[in-house]
Chains A and B, each alone.
Chain A
Amino acid sequence: DGGITQSPKYLFRKEGQNVTLSCEQNLNHDAMYWYRQDPGQGLRLIYYSQIVNDFQKGDIAEGYSVSREKKESFPLTVTSAQKNPTAFYLCASSTISGQGGGQPQHFGDGTRLSIL
């Protein structure tokens, strides 16, 4: 079955450590996205990518980094510069249409990151 796989489901990080969240899709989608959810807030966009080897900052990119070396993969690194990393992280993908933003996004099951 086609879909998006995020791993791990739960992740614990010690302060000062970088951690990488995995996101893989086999939907042949060009665009991929990373969102963060905090209690009482909507999903906020961290980074997105429309094509391999290119990505753009979202609304809350500080303290995060991404890469897009393969179409199928869009890993997110939470760096030690992210002061409040405890959150639920969702990865999504979509096809691309014209001007953009008109294609539904498909989501993974998410990764919950906690600080020890």
Chain B
Amino acid sequence: ILNVEQSPQSLHVQEGDSTNFTCSFPSSNFYALHWYRWETAKSPEALFVMTLNGDEKKKGRISATLNTKEGYSYLYIKGSQPEDSATYLCAPSGGYQKVTFGTGTKLQVIP
């Protein structure tokens, strides 16, 4: 079982603020890093899958970076909107089709 840490556990931001959170994972036996968004009363939705050190992915106002050598990934949200309110999960994979989920960062965007 991989040791995955996400921080902060939760945060509240004002609409229009930019924010970021961190996912830390073991740098050994790394294959891929997943980010998911999980809105209340919905199912988790995949945002990004990254595999290469230095990878950077973007989807609208959301972007993510990956450092496999030191074992961390950042998720950034630019100009947060109320619809961004959700729990953001990271999940590294060491291969074999398996991922290990962190406990998530719960984001609340205040209008």
How many chain-A residues does the 8 Å CB contact rule pick out? 29
Q: Which of these binds chain A: B13-21, B62-70, B77-85, B101-109?
A: B101-109
CB distance from A49 to the nearest CB of B (A): 9
Interface Cβ pair total, 8 Å cutoff? 71
Could you list some 8 contacts between A and B, CB below 8 A? A40-B103, A42-B104, A43-B44, A43-B91, A90-B43, A100-B97, A102-B93, A103-B49
Q: Does A108 contact B (CB under 8 A)?
A: yes
Determine chain A's interface SS by DSSP, over half rule. Answer: loop
- For A96, list chain B residues within 8 Å (CB): 97
Bitwise, A72-116 to B at CB < 8 A (1) or not (0) is 000000000000000000101010100111111111111000000
Q: Return chain A residues, CB-CB under 8 Å to B45.
A: 107
- Contact residues of B: prevailing secondary structure: loop
Smallest beta-carbon distance B64→chain A, Å: 13
Q: Which residue of B lies closest to A42 (CB)?
A: B101
A105 pairs with B46, CB closer than 8 A: yes
CB distance from A103 to the nearest CB of B (A): 7
Chain B residues with CB under 8 A of A92: 44
A41 to B102, CA, bound (A): 8
Closest 6 pairs between A and B when the two form their complex, measured CB to CB: A101-B93, A104-B46, A100-B97, A42-B101, A107-B43, A43-B101
